[in-house]
């Protein structure tokens, strides 16, 4: 259960970061961050 919880925490952090960027009104930053995160996950997989 601890391992699953850690994975969930990571997802929550990513969502929070994206939400903060959205609140700032920087849609370009949000898009760049999304692509960076996607590339990061692919590299780790």
4-41 residue pLDDT tens: 555 556 566 666 666 665 555 555 555 666 666 666 66
pLDDT at residue number 39: 64
- The pTM for the full model equals 0.20
Take residue 8 and report the two structure tokens written for it: 């969930």
pLDDT at residue number 34: 65
Give the Cα separation of 3 and 35 in Å (integer). 26
Q: What does the radius of gyration of the chain's CA atoms come to, in whole angstroms?
A: 12
Give the Cα separation of 19 and 31 in Å (integer). 12
């Amino acid at each position: 259960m601890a391992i699953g919880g850690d994975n969930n925490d990571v997802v929550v952090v990513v969502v929070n970061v994206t939400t903060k960027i959205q609140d700032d009104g920087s849609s370009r930053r949000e898009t760049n961050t999304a692509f960076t995160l996607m590339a990061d996950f692919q590299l780790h997989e």
